[in-house]
Chains A and B, each alone.
Chain A
Amino acid sequence: MRTYALRRLAIGLPLVLFMSFVVFLVMGWSGNSAFDALAADPSISPQILNLEKRNQGLHRPLVLRYLYWLRGVCFDLRLAPQRRVVADFDMEAKDLPQRHAVAAQAVFEPFEIPAEGAIQVGAEPVALPGLADPAALSRLFNAKRSDAAFLLLEGPAGATVRVHLASRRPEEEGAREAAFEFPCAVPEGSAPDAPGIARAEIFFQAVAGKGVSVGHLTSLRVSSMIEGPLRLREARARVRSYALEEKEGRRMRDAHLRLRFTGTPGERVSLGRLDSPYVGRVLDASEWQVDWEAFDRDRAPPPPALEGLNEDARARERDRARQRAGDRLDFDALEFDAHLDGNEARTLRITFRSLPEGREPWRRDPASAETVETPWEVALSPGDQRCAIPLAALAGRGANLRAVRGLAFGCDRACVLTLDDLRLRQSGSGFRIGRPEFGQSVNKKMGVWTYLLGKMKNTIGLNVMAILLIWSLSIPAGVYAAARAYRPGDKILTLLMYLGQAVPSFFLATLVLFGISLLRDAIPPDGTLGFLRLPLGGRTGLDHDALGFWGRLLDVAHHGVGPVLVMTLGGMAGLQRVMRATMMEEKTKLYVTAARARGVPERSLFFKHALRNAILPFIAGLGSLLPAMIGGSAFIEIIFNYPGMGRAMLEAVQNYDTNVVMASMFLSGILIVAGNLLADLLLAAVDPRISLEGRGA
C-alpha cells in the first residue's frame, strides 16, 4: 500500500505543478495584472508602483518568474544577497523624449476660451460656455499630451463647486459620469465681498479611476450648492513635457538622480517623504518618491488591535505584526550605484533624517522640526562605483533606522554626481523550510500563505461537516428507498433526489438564502425559536469576539448551517441514488437467497448482509466527493459570503492577483490529489477484492 500511495503522489504532485505552470503562463501572457487597478489610484505615485512591480519580480521574463515562484513554494532557498529596491529614479512615462534625469518640469498650456459672460450656477449642473461641446473638451483633455486639466473658476464665495464630467465610449450603451469637488474660497487679502476662486485641478488618472474615459468626454458641467454667478477665468492643460537639464554628459538608458554640487558650503539636495500628490510645482530632486516604508520597522510592535475588524483585516494585522517582529528580511546595508564626473575623488556627505526614538513612525508629519540628523561620509572615486553604508554603524551613530524620513546629499567641493538604484541589502544566503513562500498578494497587501491558510481552514471545515452529514443522511435514505422499493415513499424520495441532482448548486443556495430571509422575517428575534433565526451569510456575527469559547463555537456553527445545508442537499441526491441502486442489486444476488433459505431473519438479511456489500461502491463514490466539493463549494461560499478558498479565488481572479490565484489552485490541486488518494486507500482497505498491487483501483 505504501508503494501505491507513493506512486500516486509521484504522479499527482508533478501534475499539479504542471497545471500551475500552464495556468501561470496563460495568466501572465494575457498581460492583465493586479497593478492595472492600482495604477488608476491617484494617491499611489507611478514611481512607487514601478518599484513594487520590480520588487515583485514583474520585470523578469515569464518562465523565469514561474521558476522563482516554484522555488519559493518548494523551499525558500536564497543563494545571493537579497535586495529591496527603495528608489530607482526611473521615470515612469514611456513617451518621455529622453530619459535623462531629473529636473522635470510640468508646463501649463493655456487654453483659449471665448470671452463669455458669467453663468448662473446652482444645484443643477450647467454646462460651461466655451467648454460645452466635445470638440473643445477633447482639446483641453487631450490625454496624449497632458495629464491634468486646470480650470480657474470665479464663483460664489464659500461654495463647493462640483465639476461633472460625462463620457461615452462608442461601444458602451450609456454614459458614465463622475464628479469632483473643489472649494471656492475668497483669496487672502482681497475684499470680503470679492468673488471666490476655485482652482479645479482635474487629474486624468483620478478621472479614469472613476470610470470616465478622458478620451471620449461628452460634457463638462458645473454645479454648486450655493447659487450665484460663475465665470470661467482660465483653463489650462498640464502638458507632460519635461524641461530637461542640460544635455551634456552621457545619454543613459534609464534615469538617474543627477546631483550637481557647486561647492557652496551647506548645500544639500534632499529626498524627502511626501504623502500627497502635488500640483503644478516643479518636480525636483527633493520631492522624489522613495519607498520609505521599507525602512519602517517598529522596534517593539504594539499588539495588533483586532477589535471590530473582520476576518481579512484581522489576518492582515496579525501578519503585519509578525512581519514587524522580525520575520521579514533584516537589512544590513544601504547600497547605491554612483558615478562621479571628472578626475578627482570627492567625499559625499549623506545625512539621514529620522524621527527620534519613541515617535510613532506612522504619524505622517512632513518635515517636522523634530528630526534627528545623522551624517555619514562616503569616499567617491572618479567613475562608476557601488557604495554601501552599513546600517548597523548608522544606528550606532544615533539614527533611528526604523523611522527614516529623508536623505540629504551634500559635497564639500563642486562636482557632478549621478546616483542610481537606492537599495536595501541583506547579505548572505539562507534556507528556510516549513512555510512555503507563495509571495505577496497585491490586493490584500499581505502574504498569500497567511491569507489563504485561514480561508483553507474554513473551506475544509465546511466540506468535512457536509460530508459527514451527507454520509449519515444518504445511507439511511438509500436503504429506506430500497427497502420500500416502488412504494410511495420510494417514489417521492426518488423524485426529490432526481430534482436535487438537476438543480444548479448556486440556484439552490439562492433559494435557501431566500428561505432563511423569510424565516428571519417570520420569527421574532427574542423568542424561544430564536436559534432558528439563521444568519444571512458570513462566518461570524458582529459580537463574535465578546463571546466565550463555547459561544464562539456556537456562533460559527450557527452561521454554518446555511452553507452546510445547501452542500448536503446538493451532494446527497446522487449518493442516495447510488445507494438505492446497489441495494436493489444486492437484493437479487444469490447469497441473499441462500441466507434466506438458511433462515436468517429478513431484517438482518437486509441491514446486515446486503448493506455491507452495497456500501463498497458507495465508499468509492464518497471518496470522490471531497475533491468535487472543494471545487463546488466555491459557489456556496460566494453566495453565503463565507470566507473560504473559493471566494478568495474568485476575488483574486477578478482583480488579477496572480499570486493568490496560483497558490489557491496549487493548494486545491494538492487537496484533491490527497483526497483521491485517501479515497482509494479507504476503498482498498474496506473491500477485500481490491488489491492495490495490480491495476485494481
Chain B
Amino acid sequence: MNAPPDVQRASRSPLRLALRKFAQHRLAIYGMIALSGLYALMILAEFAAPYDFKTTRSQRFHPPSRIHWRTPQGRWTAPYAYAAFAVVDGDFRRHYVEASPDNLAYLKKRLGGAAPDTSRAYPLRLFVRGDEYRPWFLAAPKWLLEKARLRALAEHVPDRCTLHLFGLGGGAGPGAPMFHLLGADDLGRDLFSRILYGSRVSLTIGFAAVVITFSLGLLIGGVSGYFGGRVDISLQRLVEAMMLLPGFYILLALYAALPKDLSSTGRYFAIVLILACIGWAGLARTVRGIVLSLRQNDYVLASRALGVRPLSIIVRHILPNTFSYVIVAVTLAIPGYMLGESGLSFLGLGIAEPYASWGNMLGLTRDPYYCANYPWILVPGLFILLTVVSFNLLGDGLRDAFDPKTVVGRKT
C-alpha cells in the first residue's frame, strides 16, 4: 500500500517548508513586492524616468505639475498639463502660475515679454517619445542574443531609445516644459527622474558592500568558530575591537584619506569599501556562533575522521548550513549600509553632484526654509524609509520562515 501520510509529510524538504512559512507572512510578502517594484524601476530607470538626472529646463523649485482631468468647460478628458511660470510677489516669494487660459492675462501683466502668447495644453501620455537615452538594461539581452547567434534579433535591439514610460505628448519638443511628477530641485531638475536614477546608487550600494562583508565575515567567522582555541580567541578580540570603535568617526577619517579629485565611480567603490571594512564584524560574530553549534554535528566528525582538510570541511560542509541564518543577517544588514551611504552623501561626502543619490538629494533639505516652502524635496527620504522598511519586513519574514521553532499556519 502507499506510505502512511505522516511519512509523506515528513519528507517535505526544509526549503519548501520555509517557503511555505514565508508565503504566509503577509507583511513580508508586501515588503518583497515593494522591493521588486523598486528594483524594477531601478533597472528601467531610463525608460521610467521622463528626463535625465541632469536636465534642467525648468526654473528652481518648480512644484509638482498639476494634472488636469477636466477641460475648461468642465468635461472629463484625458489628463493634461500646462507650462508653469515663476512669478515673484511683493514678499519676494516665488509662486508658480500655470499658463492656463484663465491665467494668461495675469502672466502677461506680471511677466511682460516672458509670458507665453497662447495657453498650450500638453497631454500627459504613456509611452511617449522624449529625450534620447541609451538603454542600459537592454545591453545584457542584446549580448545574450548575440552569443546565441540570433544576430537578426540582436540587431533589432536598439542602441539608443527615445521611448519613455510617461511624459508630455502632443508634439512636445525641446522647448516644451518639463512635467514634474514630484516637483523640481534647486537647479530645476526633475525630482522623480533623479529619484529613479538615484535608486541605482542607493539600492545597489548595499549589495556591493554586503558582498565584501559576506565573504570576509563568512571566512573569518567560519575559521574562528571551527578551530576554536587560540585562533578563536584572537580573532574574536579582533572582531570585538572592530565593533568597539566609533564607526562614524572612522568612516569620516577614512573618507578624508581619499584623493580630492576622485571620479564618481571611484567614490562609489571607495564608499563601498569603507562601509564594508567597518561592518564585517557583526556578520563574523553571527557566523562564529552558528559554526560553533554546527561543529558538534556528526557529519563534521565523520569528515574529520576521513581526513578531509579543515578548510575543505568549513567551506563545503559547514558554511552551506549557515546560509539560512546568513541570508537573514545579510538582508537585515543591507539597509544599514544604505543608510550609511545616504548619511555620507547627505553630508556632502559621498556621491557628488551632478550624480544623484537619495542621500545627496536629501542634502538640500538641510535648510528649513527650503523644507517649509518646497516640501517635495523631502520625498527621497520617504523612498529611503520605504526601502528600509521593506528590507526589514523581508528579513523578519525570512527569519521566521527559517526558524524551526515557528510552526506553519500559526501566526506569532
A656 contacts B248, C-beta separation under 8 Å: no
Complexed CA–CA distance, A672 and B248 (Å) = 12
- Which residues of A have CB within 8 Å of B257? 26-27, 29-30, 32
B252-299 interface (Cβ within 8 A of A): 252-260
A32 contacts B371, C-beta separation under 8 Å: no
Query: Is B59 located at the chain interface by the 8 A CB criterion?
Result: no
A498-536 interface (Cβ within 8 A of B): 498-499, 501-507, 510-511, 513-514, 516-518, 521, 536
**Interface 9-residue window, one of A11-19, A121-129, A445-453:** A11-19
Complexed CA–CA distance, A650 and B348 (Å) = 10
Chain A interface SS verdict (over half)? helix
Query: Is B322 located at the chain interface by the 8 A CB criterion?
Result: no
Complexed CA–CA distance, A173 and B56 (Å) = 13
Given A506-B346, A513-B371: A665 and B378 interface contact (C-beta under 8 Å)? no
Query: Is B193 located at the chain interface by the 8 A CB criterion?
Result: no
Closest to B353 in A: A173
Interface string of A74-97 (1 = CB under 8 A from B): 000000000000000000000000
- B246's partner among A506, A507, A631 (CB-CB below 8 A) is A631
B245 contacts A650, C-beta separation under 8 Å: no
A517 contacts B372, C-beta separation under 8 Å: yes
Closest to B364 in A: A510
- Which residues of A have CB within 8 Å of B306? none
Query: Is B104 located at the chain interface by the 8 A CB criterion?
Result: no
A502 contacts B245, C-beta separation under 8 Å: no
**Interface 9-residue window, one of B11-19, B63-71, B383-391, B401-409:** B383-391
Query: Is B32 located at the chain interface by the 8 A CB criterion?
Result: no
Complexed CA–CA distance, A263 and B5 (Å) = 120
Closest to B340 in A: A504
In whole Å, how far is B329's beta carbon from the nearest beta carbon of chain A? 16
B252 contacts A15, C-beta separation under 8 Å: no
In whole Å, how far is A679's beta carbon from the nearest beta carbon of chain B? 12
- B392's partner among A11, A502, A506 (CB-CB below 8 A) is A502
Query: Is A217 located at the chain interface by the 8 A CB criterion?
Result: no
A668 contacts B378, C-beta separation under 8 Å: no
B246 contacts A11, C-beta separation under 8 Å: no
B388 contacts A504, C-beta separation under 8 Å: yes
Query: Is B343 located at the chain interface by the 8 A CB criterion?
Result: yes
B244 contacts A673, C-beta separation under 8 Å: yes
Query: Is A627 located at the chain interface by the 8 A CB criterion?
Result: yes
- A521's partner among B248, B258, B372 (CB-CB below 8 A) is B372
Query: Is A638 located at the chain interface by the 8 A CB criterion?
Result: yes
In whole Å, how far is A452's beta carbon from the nearest beta carbon of chain B? 12
Query: Is B115 located at the chain interface by the 8 A CB criterion?
Result: no
B248 contacts A665, C-beta separation under 8 Å: no
Query: Is B247 located at the chain interface by the 8 A CB criterion?
Result: yes
- B368's partner among A499, A501, A517, A631 (CB-CB below 8 A) is A517
Query: Is A653 located at the chain interface by the 8 A CB criterion?
Result: yes
Query: Is B335 located at the chain interface by the 8 A CB criterion?
Result: yes
Query: Is A623 located at the chain interface by the 8 A CB criterion?
Result: no
- B343's partner among A29, A506, A517, A664 (CB-CB below 8 A) is A506
Query: Is B76 located at the chain interface by the 8 A CB criterion?
Result: no
Interface string of B358-371 (1 = CB under 8 A from A): 00001001101101
Closest to A671 in B: B246
Query: Is A634 located at the chain interface by the 8 A CB criterion?
Result: yes
- Which residues of A have CB within 8 Å of B381? 503-504, 507, 510-511
B385 contacts A504, C-beta separation under 8 Å: yes
B249 contacts A516, C-beta separation under 8 Å: no
In whole Å, how far is A675's beta carbon from the nearest beta carbon of chain B? 10
A507 contacts B389, C-beta separation under 8 Å: no
A507 contacts B385, C-beta separation under 8 Å: yes
Complexed CA–CA distance, A330 and B258 (Å) = 39
In whole Å, how far is B386's beta carbon from the nearest beta carbon of chain A? 9
In whole Å, how far is A17's beta carbon from the nearest beta carbon of chain B? 11
B109-131 interface (Cβ within 8 A of A): none
In whole Å, how far is B351's beta carbon from the nearest beta carbon of chain A? 15
In whole Å, how far is B239's beta carbon from the nearest beta carbon of chain A? 12
Given A503-B385, A650-B252: A510 and B246 interface contact (C-beta under 8 Å)? no
B378 contacts A499, C-beta separation under 8 Å: no
- Which residues of B have CB within 8 Å of A30? 256-259
- Which residues of B have CB within 8 Å of A673? 244
A507 contacts B259, C-beta separation under 8 Å: no
- Which residues of A have CB within 8 Å of B253? 23, 26-27, 653, 661, 665
- Which residues of A have CB within 8 Å of B368? 513-514, 516-517, 536
Interface string of A631-652 (1 = CB under 8 A from B): 1101100110000001001100
Closest to B259 in A: A30
Given A498-B389, A661-B252: A631 and B247 interface contact (C-beta under 8 Å)? yes
Complexed CA–CA distance, A507 and B366 (Å) = 9
Query: Is B315 located at the chain interface by the 8 A CB criterion?
Result: no
A514 contacts B371, C-beta separation under 8 Å: yes
| Given A498-B389, A502-B389, 12 other A-B residues pairs in contact with their CB atoms under 8 A | A16-B245, A19-B245, A506-B362, A507-B378, A510-B378, A516-B368, A517-B369, A517-B371, A631-B246, A653-B253, A653-B255, A668-B249
28 A/B residue pairs, CB under 8 Å, sorted by A: A11-B237, A11-B241, A15-B241, A15-B244, A15-B245, A19-B250, A27-B253, A27-B256, A30-B256, A30-B259, A32-B257, A501-B392, A502-B335, A504-B339, A504-B384, A507-B385, A510-B366, A511-B378, A513-B371, A514-B368, A514-B378, A639-B366, A653-B252, A653-B255, A654-B348, A654-B349, A669-B244, A673-B244
Q: Would you list the 7 A-B pairs with minimal beta carbon distance, nearest first?
A: A631-B248, A507-B381, A514-B371, A30-B257, A517-B368, A502-B388, A26-B257
